[in-house]
Structure 1
Amino acid sequence: MGKITLRDVGEHVGVSAKTVSNVVNGTGWVKDDLKLRVRAAIVELGYRPNAAARQLRSGRSGMIALALPDLAQPYFAELASAMVRAAEERSITVLISQTNGQADAERRISDGVGIPVMDGLILSALALSVDDLTTRLDSTPIVLLGEHIGVSPFPHVTVDNAAAARAATEHLLAIGCRRIAAIGAQSVAPKETADLRLAGYRAALAAAGIPSDDRLVCIVDKFQRADGAAAADALIASGVEFDAVFAFNDLLALGAMHALAEHGIRVPEDVAVVGFDDIDEGRFASPSLTTVSPDKDAIARAALDLLLEADGLDGEANPSATAVPTTTIPFQIVKRASA
């Protein structure tokens, strides 16, 4: 069969080419069951959108896409800035997209829909699965960030969250804390990051011979300041004794510190606080925030290097399809005034 068209897909499913176009481009309104049937036919028939434009690409566009869940989160904003700096060093332009962790948005950008032709995609996925990505409509090289997809056929850049959380908890133990609260556990997916950081916290306590107390583990909906403040308020109201807080990101830590101050609890004299992410805001908090610092510049450089290697974009031969590199980025504990 020659080139597959929208009309071919529509005839296969029994719908119009316009309906297929709506599914491909995320426009109009299509019932969920019909959307699934159309996407299945697209994969079965091997339809590729914008195939002609892609075939014209004898060279490179000099652009890549970076898709992150939430640019209002300082960590992701700072990571995007690091990615732009690293790309500029390689004479690459970065198109940045916010997905809000929504499956439709992640799928559209992984399919190459609604964006110019790119040389590659760096994606921090919260909703898509390995199956979603292996059946995507675009063959542009992709590199994954984060923990949601741990094992896949795609290059991956991550931080050892369990080890980092363990190190943060060990720091609190080393300064004499024994009743360490953990703020940031989550009960609703996606929660891979929270689960890994909780595991590291518990591992540190176990190694120190301190039983884990579920009353000290605070579940939050989001990693935001308000959630950290609410968790600290709840801890105080419960009457449970605690002398430290390990918050699973800096925003939670900053929110907790605000609530502690509102209750007249001094940091670090009464309660020590450690965060995670090393965002700029933490340096200028009062007191300044001790935190886990993943090397965001190293994350950016590693992701770009993997992307450049993925399809010979660096001028070298393509790697073996079975050789899928994963890069684990180092971290350090940055000690400041809060712990």
Structure 2
Amino acid sequence: MGASLKDVAHLAGVSVKTVSNVVNNHPHVTPATRERVRRAIDELGYRPNLTARHLRKGRTGIIALAVPELGNPYFAELAGAVIDTAARHDYTVLLDHTAGRREKEVLVTQGFRTHVIDGLILSPIELETSDLLGRRPDDGPLVLLGEREYEAPYDQIAIDNVAAARTAVRHLTGLGRRRIAFIGARRETARRPAHLRLRGWREELLAAGLPCDESLVAATDGYGRWDGAAAMNALLDRGARPDAVFAYNDLMALGAIRALVERGVRVPQEVSVVGFDDIEEGRFGAVSLTTVAPDKQAIARLAVERVVARLTGTSGLRPERIQPGYTLVTRESTAPHTV
């Protein structure tokens, strides 16, 4: 049988209430007492009963994270950051996979697991505002991640995708690149997440005094490596030879690089390539990938903190739209034109 709060209190020479205050990180404990209690906890191997703690508050101690594709390294890395952050708040994370399908995104927001979870963090692809308004049967915290903006009463966390895309294109124009392709546009673009990055591509080209050559926009059916390679090959096949590529994400950028190399095009000398997401895989290719790096740690921290704040009543009533930062990470896939 494990040690109890009473055992810790007896060894530390303090009250059970004081031990509880230390375990729950309450501020009104002197540093000396806090250290004495922590030594007793370590000596006895005491572990708080988190389940009981949550149940006393009418909660399960579980937050759900629903993402469109667990096989995408970006979402895997984001999930890891959310799990680590939630653990610091004594929460467990339940992962859900929507495959980017509207019906599954609607299902997870309708509260079919309200008896299991305390709150939901969702990265939607196809979800509409109408799905969010009037279809949720419970009032549990919901935090939305990603590019799309919703006129809905929920917290939303996303980097400025237009500005981030402009940063990527500005980097390429600063290298003297003039025919910059965009890979990753989807059909019905206005309803898809890629439209903000495509908009940033257009805005920055116009700001640089360059034409927005729509023949350099490659539509795809998905966002994976094969989609990037197929889009790159399609551009080359129709004679729309770019001198640079800005891809919707790193996976597509890596696919584009593979297609270029297989066709004898030198990267970055003839064609520079920029991705988006800063997944770990992009750092270890034969040509390491220049990319826009969203602050995934900040996204995870803010998402979990918003859920916890709403559960504990420390958050204001009005929903917030929060923009974490991003950086451009320059690697070997971009360089001045040297044909």
Range class of TM-score, shorter chain: 0.7 to 0.9
2:322 aligns to what?
327
Equivalent position SS for 1:82: helix
2:58 aligned with 1:63: no
Larger Rg: 2
Partner of 2:294: 294
Preserved contact between residue 69 and residue 125 of structure 1 (Cα < 8 Å): yes
| Matched-pair contact (CA < 8 Å) for 1:293–1:332 | yes
1:301-326 Cα offsets, whole Å, 9 max, x none, are 01111111223x2x63x522xx2111
Structure 2 counterpart of 1:172: 172
Aligned residue for 2:120? 121
Structure 1 counterpart of 2:332, from 323, 328, 337 = 337
Are the counterparts in 1 of residues 141 and 307 from structure 2 also a CA contact under 8 Å? yes
Moved more, 121-130 or 257-266: 121-130
Match of 1:245, SS state, is strand
AA at the equivalent of 1:86: T
Aligned length: 279
1:73-92 mapped onto 2 (5 Å cutoff): 73-92=72-91
Aligned to 2:274: 274
Q: 1:116 and 1:288 mapped to 2: Cα distance?
A: 46
Distance 2:137 2:61 in 1: 21
Residues 294 and 330 of structure 1 are in contact (CA less than 8 Å); yes or no, is this contact kept in structure 2?
Answer: yes
Q: Percent identity?
A: 48
Query: 1:39 corresponds to which residue?
Result: none
- The answer to whether the 8 Å contact 2:184/2:247 transfers is yes
Hey, what's the Cα distance between the residues in 1 that align with 2:89 and 2:239? 55
Contact 1:161 1:193 in 2 (8 A): no
Report the Cα distance in structure 2 between the residues aligned to 1:139 and 1:338, rounded to whole angstroms.
47
Shift of 1:193: 2.2
For each residue in 1:48-97, what CA deviation from the matched residue of structure 2 results, as whole angstroms up to 9, or x when unmatched? xxxxxxxx874322111111111111111111111111111222100010
Q: Cα distance, 1:196 vs. partner?
A: 0.5
C-alpha deviation, 1:292, in angstroms: 0.4
- Aligned counterparts of 1:170 and 1:123: Cα–Cα separation in 2: 31
Quickly say closer, same or farther: Cα 1:179–1:103, change in 2 above 3 A.
closer
Residue ranges of structure 2 left out of the alignment (5+ in a row): 1-54, 335-339
Show the counterpart of 1:100. Answer: 99
CA distance in 1, matches of 2:171, 2:130: 40
**Whole-angstrom CA distance in 2 between matches of 1:223 and 1:191:** 15
**1:129, CA displacement in angstroms?**
2.3
Question: For 1:329, what is the secondary structure of its paired residue?
Answer: coil
Q: Look up the SS of the partner of 1:193 in the other structure.
A: coil
Say if 1:65 and 1:95, in contact at 8 Å, map to a contact too: yes
**Residue 176 of structure 1: CA displacement?**
1.2
**Residue number in structure 1 paired with 2:243:** 243
